[in-house]
């Protein structure tokens, strides 16, 4: 039994009434559910002994000393709490910065421009800024200031010692921004200022159990911080849900103060990155003490409203129709999985591997489903996830006959199955929905693991691509006005097919409904102005319009709701259309079988 228990300092601990405690770190997310855990959490700060905590819990209504001791034991066994140091928690620090040297949030460290070698054409000063949240304690803030000052001195020394032209971005050093959170609100202003000045900047998170370094933002060459933030937010569903709860109680937990050795390593990494990242600026590097370094691909959003021109908006006068679809004949290379693909799954997996990342990926997590239904993590470093290479059984299934990673089927004769977690586009409304978002909203199956992974990743990309972001091309108008303008609007119920009886009894049907997929919407108002999305009709070869609410997820309108039936992803546009067509046929046949008892005529793929 721990004498003075406290939560691990790497955890951010939050409570949500009535009985939930959330533990969040760089890699882990845990939820403690129960009134006892909720009551005991504020006491786990290292200042109260176990006996004192137990006595306090026993004094509560329905309290029990036995249950309290058992809860503490469980928390310790799982590693959620550790023994607190009774001495000062903050280790000794070096000499504090002198007067005028202390940094406030966002203030730069300057003054070494004169030390740069002007003869080599540098002409740029070294700028290091701090952007830290209020949760960072003062002692740690001082350590960061000292770290920043040391970094400036090392950068200046590196510039002075460089002969024959520096490698550090050749003619211009980037600003270096140190932060405790890559989503710090002040970074939006930093991003805008850098874009206006055309000045590159490097983002670094030296705090916590995992060091983050990069990407290097280069205006006009890479994406911007807003592009990065969009991916980061999508991969933090639990944090987003907590931030949406006004009743949450944040139990402050300070990040550990890194020792001198770790500070030096972090500075070495930054200096190395300034040499390497200019050649690969679109990389975020993560360093965990117990794992090899990882590289996460940073992707520029073509629709970004900050570093790219907005494509359109409801009020935009620049709205233009997308070009007509031009379909081409594509050879079928792979059909063994029941589909029709223009390349084998191993090649597709190699191309999509960069989309799998817990930090910046479209796919946050990929887990195999076992015989008993248990989920097993499939990290991006698994051979079947990483791009195909020598020694990868997926690259050459016959190279290693004893390898089990890609044998057809499982010992019990079933297919391989993967559950895929990804951005769902909106904050969960309740705990039940959050659990679904965390576990994964997409899945993949296949005769081999590679096929199953490709299936799952592609479905996740399909769902991700259908999320409404606000920058989609659309037109604001009423159904009647589009009809009068001969713009070919499609009435939403022409595709939803609700009956008059369903609309008439919708309130009774929707009352107490648990599955929103069965929700009957309001009757569509043909006079109401709404957003319309342009479509291309393959049969009529012209543009038509369908309500945006029916085309995208996370777009709230009471008269219709997007559905994934008939959506598909593919290696080519033609492949995706083909898969989507048969997806619609599959679900339509299911509805047909439910609605009729007589035989139905069959169809085959060659007919289409």
Please report the pLDDT score of residue 378 as a whole number: 55
106 or 580: which carries more pLDDT confidence? 580
The rounded percent of the chain whose pLDDT value lies above 90 is 40
Average pLDDT over residues 315-326: 73
The rounded percent of the chain whose pLDDT value lies above 70 is 77
pLDDT band at 383 (very low <50, low <70, confident <90, very high): very low
Structural domains in the chain, CATH included, are 5-83 (3.90.930.60), 108-297 (3.40.50.720), 345-465 (no CATH), 475-595 (3.30.40.250)
pLDDT at 391 over 70: no
Range with the poorest average pLDDT among 244-258, 381-395, 472-486:
381-395
Tokens of 325: 């679809």
Q: For the chain, percent helix, then strand, then coil, each to nearest 5?
A: 30, 15, 50
Strands 249-251 and 416-422 come out as: unpaired
Helix (H) or strand (E) segment spanning residue 265: helix 260-276
332 or 80: which carries more pLDDT confidence? 80
108 or 234: which carries more pLDDT confidence? 234
d(CA 419, CA 445): 9
Please report the pLDDT score of residue 91 as a whole number: 39
Predicted model pTM: 0.80
Average pLDDT over residues 489-494: 95
591 or 476: which carries more pLDDT confidence? 476
Average pLDDT over residues 504-519: 86
Please report the pLDDT score of residue 137 as a whole number: 72
- Rounded to the nearest integer, the mean pLDDT of the chain is 79
pLDDT at 29 over 50: yes
330-357 residue pLDDT tens: 888 887 776 788 899 999 999 999 899 9
List Cα–Cα distances, 151 to 145, 254, 260, 269, 608, in angstroms. Answer: 10, 23, 13, 11, 65
d(CA 422, CA 153): 42
Please report the pLDDT score of residue 485 as a whole number: 94
pLDDT band at 413 (very low <50, low <70, confident <90, very high): low
Strands 175-179 and 201-205 come out as: parallel
pLDDT at 389 over 80: no
pLDDT at 603 over 50: no
Please report the pLDDT score of residue 258 as a whole number: 67
424-462 residue pLDDT tens: 887 788 888 888 888 778 999 888 899 999 999 999 999
Average pLDDT over residues 182-206: 92
36-64 residue pLDDT tens: 999 999 999 999 999 999 999 988 888 88
599 or 182: which carries more pLDDT confidence? 182
Q: How many CA atoms lie within 13 A of 597 on its CB side?
A: 0
Range with the poorest average pLDDT among 1-5, 158-162, 196-200, 401-405:
401-405
Average pLDDT over residues 595-607: 45
């Amino acid at each position: 039994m721990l004498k003075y228990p406290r939560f691990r300092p790497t955890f951010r601990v939050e409570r949500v009434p009535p009985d939930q405690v959330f533990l969040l770190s760089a890699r882990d997310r845990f939820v403690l559910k129960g009134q006892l855990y909720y009551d005991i959490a504020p006491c786990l700060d290292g200042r109260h002994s176990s006996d004192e905590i137990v006595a306090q819990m026993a004094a509560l209504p329905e309290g029990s000393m036995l249950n309290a001791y058992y809860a503490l034991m469980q928390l310790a066994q799982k590693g959620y709490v550790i023994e607190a140091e009774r001495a000062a928690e903050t280790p000794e620090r070096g000499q504090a910065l002198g007067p005028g040297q202390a940094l406030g949030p966002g203030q730069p460290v300057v003054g070494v421009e004169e030390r740069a070698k002007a003869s080599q054409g540098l002409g740029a000063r070294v700028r290091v800024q701090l952007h830290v949240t209020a949760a960072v304690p003062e002692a740690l803030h001082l350590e960061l200031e000292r770290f920043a000052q040391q970094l400036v001195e090392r950068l200046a020394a590196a510039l002075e010692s460089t002969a024959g032209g520096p490698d550090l971005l050749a003619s211009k050093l980037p600003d270096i921004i140190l932060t405790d959170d890559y989503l710090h609100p002040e970074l939006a202003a930093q991003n805008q200022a850098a874009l206006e000045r055309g000045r590159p900047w490097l983002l670094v998170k030296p705090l916590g159990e995992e060091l983050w370094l990069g990407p290097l933002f280069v205006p006009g060459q890479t994406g911007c911080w807003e592009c990065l933030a969009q991916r980061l937010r999508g991969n933090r569903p639990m944090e987003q849900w907590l931030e949406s709860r006004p009743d949450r109680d944040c139990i402050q937990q300070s990040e550990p103060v890194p020792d001198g050795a770790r500070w030096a390593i972090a500075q070495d990494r930054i200096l190395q990155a300034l040499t390497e990242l200019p050649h690969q600026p679109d990389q975020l590097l993560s360093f965990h003490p117990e794992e090899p370094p990882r590289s996460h691909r940073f992707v520029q959003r073509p629709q970004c409203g900050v570093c790219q021109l907005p494509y359109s908006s409801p009020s935009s006068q620049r709205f233009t129709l997308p070009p007509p679809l031009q379909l081409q004949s594509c050879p079928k290379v792979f059909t063994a999985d029941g589909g029709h693909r223009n390349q084998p799954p191993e090649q597709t997996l190699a191309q999509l591997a960069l989309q799998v990342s817990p930090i910046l990926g479209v796919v946050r997590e990929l887990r195999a489903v076992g015989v008993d239904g248990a989920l097993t993590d499939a990290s991006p470093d698994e051979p079947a996830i990483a791009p195909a290479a020598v020694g990868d059984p997926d690259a050459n299934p016959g190279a290693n006959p004893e390898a089990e990673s890609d044998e057809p089927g499982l010992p019990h004769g079933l297919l391989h199955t993967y559950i895929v977690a990804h951005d769902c586009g909106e904050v969960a409304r309740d705990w039940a929905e959050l659990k679904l978002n965390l576990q994964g909203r997409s899945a993949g199956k296949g005769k081999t693991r590679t096929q199953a992974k490709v299936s799952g990743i592609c479905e996740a990309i399909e769902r991700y691509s259908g999320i409404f972001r606000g920058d989609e091309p659309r037109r604001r108008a009423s159904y009647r006005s589009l009809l009068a303008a001969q713009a070919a609007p499609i009435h939403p119920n022409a595709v939803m097919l609700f009956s008059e009886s369903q609309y008439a009894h919708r309130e009774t049907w929707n009352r107490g409904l648990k599955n929103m997929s069965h929700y009957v919407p309001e009757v569509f108002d043909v006079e109401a102005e709404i957003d319309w999305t342009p479509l291309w009709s393959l049969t009529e070869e012209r543009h038509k319009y369908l309500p945006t609410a029916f085309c995208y997820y996370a777009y709230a309108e009471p008269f219709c709701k997007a559905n994934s039936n008939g959506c598909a992803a593919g290696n080519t546009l033609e492949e995706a259309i083909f898969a989507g067509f048969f997806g619609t046929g599959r679900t339509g046949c299911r509805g047909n079988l439910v609605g009729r008892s007589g035989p139905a005529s069959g169809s085959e793929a060659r007919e289409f």
